[in-house]
Amino acid sequence: MRVEFQGIPLERAGVAAVELDAETLGALLTALERRFPAFNDVVQAGCLRSPFIAHLNGSQFIRDPRTPLSSHDHLLILSPDIAT
């Protein structure tokens, strides 16, 4: 799936987007923690830290680490100041 970053998550990842596969949001966030050490400001233990948010497929905001994902999904991780 395509994962894009905006705001602080973009600064921490150092790239605008990556391609990763994960079965759940929690698994994806854990993979991002491993791949981008500076991402620990955004993610902790497979969960988004407050106030960061994830937008799935342009249709819904998600935070529950148990949210299922598929390889065809598009996820945007951003700071709330970017979402307005």
User: Which CATH number covers residue 21?
Assistant: 3.10.20.30
Instruction: Give how many domains the chain has, as a whole number.
Output: 1
User: Residue 20 class from Cβ within 10 Å (0-12 exposed, 13-18 middle, 19+ buried)?
Assistant: middle
Domain range enclosing 65: 2-83
> Which regions in the chain score pLDDT beneath 70?
82-84
- Predicted confidence (pLDDT) per residue in 34-55, tens digit: 999 999 989 999 999 999 999 9
Q: Of how many residues is the chain composed?
A: 84
Structural contact between residues 33 and 46, judged by C-beta atoms closer than 8 angstroms: yes
Among 26, 35, 36, 16, residue whose Cα is nearest residue 62: 26
Q: Which residues pair with 43 in a beta bridge?
A: 48
Q: What is the pTM for the complete model shown?
A: 0.91
